[in-house]
């Protein structure tokens, strides 16, 4: 009953901000989830095969279900929508519930990026007024800044793509940094072995598939590696710069100055204005507001501003709201063009 009343109060507060309520399907095609989150994510979903042989799953994420609705209904232009319901996801922690009750709200198809980011955060803060807590933290990050940094580093293009693509896979990302530091992939012996493999594979059937990739695709990667080798002395310095960037954490009103100081120190041609961030107040109600350069690695589809709200209630710290910008998600799901989108989800099982 408590959860139901809380949900109704939050839904009213979101509606008062001009959002339109929609219903979302509980079952979606599993390939949409696997394509976005990788095969490793399959073990966390509840899937089954229907009578036509298609693999379906209970929605583990309401955002993807919402974006599929926008795409499949061929919707155009701006939509301010909200919804409530359950997401179903297995967890490695046996104490976690497999059913997550959520309220979500999104702005899709609008080109007013900065104001939309602010509106999603302000709607989150208004929703939070329905919840009792003593203190908390609003953490803001930005995946776009990380990608801009990577684009400026003195490493081959394939390495830039690799680091950007795997930012959300923290363990694997750290393994990539170790490879940069040790220069293991540019060892002369390994390079010569790669060249021998390359010339041997040139004689094979290019359409043949090995480990999920055609020989033609593998040869293209080998060719890029051979033509654009990474300097043996640059890897350690690049890794050091990335690690130093990811350690940046400060009150939100110092975010621009701390980032610009870092860029200047490392001779990186980037400048960030404080207006780039949706908030500049270090304190909002009972929340401390901080910037964290490493935040934003929970989901692969985030592309820009990301945030979370953690609260302290009954002497326990709990994550209550997560959100951010995902401008590429709808095109990744099949749209011909990118559609701007930003949103957040409030966890009622806190």
**Highest averaged pLDDT of the listed ranges 63-67, 215-219, 226-230, 339-343:** 339-343
Percent of the chain exceeding pLDDT 70 equals 88
pLDDT in tens, 276-333: 999 999 999 899 999 999 998 877 789 999 999 999 977 788 899 999 999 999 998 8
User: Does the pLDDT at position 211 exceed 90?
Assistant: no
Integer Cα distance of 203 and 93 in angstroms: 49
pLDDT of residue 221: 66
Residue 5 binned pLDDT confidence (cut-offs 50, 70, 90): confident
The answer to whether the CB of 97 falls within 8 A of the CB of 127 is no
* Cα Rg, the chain, nearest whole Å: 22
Give the position of tokens 């400026």.
Answer: 152
Q: Per this entry, what is the length of the chain? A: 350
Residue 229 binned pLDDT confidence (cut-offs 50, 70, 90): low
Range of weakest confidence among 18-27, 115-124, 312-321: 312-321
Integer Cα distance of 73 and 71 in angstroms: 6
* CATH class of the region 2-148+242-347: alpha beta
> First vs last Cα of the chain: how many Å apart?
15
Give the residue, 174 or 39, on which the prediction is more confident: 174
Question: Where are the domain boundaries for CATH 3.30.930.10 in the chain?
Answer: 2-148+242-347
Integer Cα distance of 142 and 290 in angstroms: 12
Q: How high does pLDDT run on average in the chain?
A: 87
Give the residue, 236 or 83, on which the prediction is more confident: 83
The answer to whether the CB of 44 falls within 8 A of the CB of 91 is yes
User: Does the pLDDT at position 162 exceed 50?
Assistant: yes
pLDDT in tens, 34-57: 776 656 667 888 999 999 999 999
User: Does the pLDDT at position 27 exceed 90?
Assistant: yes
Helix boundaries (H) for the chain: 2-15, 30-37, 62-72, 113-128, 143-152, 157-165, 170-182, 188-201, 215-227, 234-246, 255-265, 329-332
Angle at 295 between CA 294 and CA 298, to 5 degrees: 120
Region 155-175 average pLDDT: 90
| Distances from the Cα of 35 to the Cα of 48, 63, 76, 209, 221, angstroms | 17, 15, 24, 19, 21
pLDDT of residue 156: 86
pTM of the full structure: 0.81
pLDDT of residue 1: 41
The answer to whether the CB of 74 falls within 8 A of the CB of 315 is no
pLDDT of residue 256: 97
Least Cα distance to 103 among 179, 32, 15 occurs for: 15
Region 122-146 average pLDDT: 94
């Amino acid at each position: 009953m408590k959860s139901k009343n809380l949900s109704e109060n939050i839904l009213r507060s979101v509606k008062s901000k001009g959002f339109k309520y929609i219903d979302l399907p509980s079952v979606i095609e599993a390939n949409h989830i696997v394509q976005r989150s990788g095969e490793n994510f399959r073990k966390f979903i509840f899937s089954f095969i229907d009578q036509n042989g298609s693999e379906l799953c209970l929605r583990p994420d309401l955002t993807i279900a919402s974006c599929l609705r926008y795409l499949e209904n061929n919707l155009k232009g701006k939509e301010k929508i909200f919804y409530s319901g359950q997401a179903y996801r297995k967890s490695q922690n046996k104490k976690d519930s497999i059913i997550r009750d959520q309220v979500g709200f999104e702005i899709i198809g609008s080109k007013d990026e900065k104001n939309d980011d602010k509106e999603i955060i302000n709607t989150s803060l208004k929703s939070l007024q329905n919840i009792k807590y003593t203190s908390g933290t609003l953490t803001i990050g930005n995946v776009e800044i990380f990608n801009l940094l990577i684009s400026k580093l003195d490493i081959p293009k394939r390495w830039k793509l690799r680091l950007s693509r795997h930012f959300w896979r923290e363990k694997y990302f750290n393994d990539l940094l170790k490879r940069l530091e040790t220069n293991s992939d540019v060892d002369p012996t390994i390079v010569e072995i790669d060249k021998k493999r390359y010339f041997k594979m040139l004689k094979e059937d290019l359409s043949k598939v090995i480990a999920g990739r055609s020989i033609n695709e593998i040869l293209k990667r080998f060719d890029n590696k051979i033509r654009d080798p990474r300097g043996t002395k640059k890897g350690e310095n690049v890794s050091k710069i990335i690690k130093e960037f990811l350690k940046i954490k400060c009150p939100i009103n110092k975010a621009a100055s701390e980032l610009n100081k870092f860029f200047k120190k490392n001779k990186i041609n980037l400048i960030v204005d404080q207006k780039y961030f949706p908030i500049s107040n270090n304190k909002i109600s009972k929340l401390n507001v901080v910037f964290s350069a490493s935040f934003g690695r929970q989901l692969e589809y985030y592309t820009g501003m990301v945030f979370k709200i953690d609260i302290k209630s009954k002497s326990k710290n709990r994550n209550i709201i997560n959100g951010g910008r995902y401008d590429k998600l709808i095109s990744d799901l099949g749209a011909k063009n990118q559609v701007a989108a930003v949103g957040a989800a409030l966890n009622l099982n806190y």
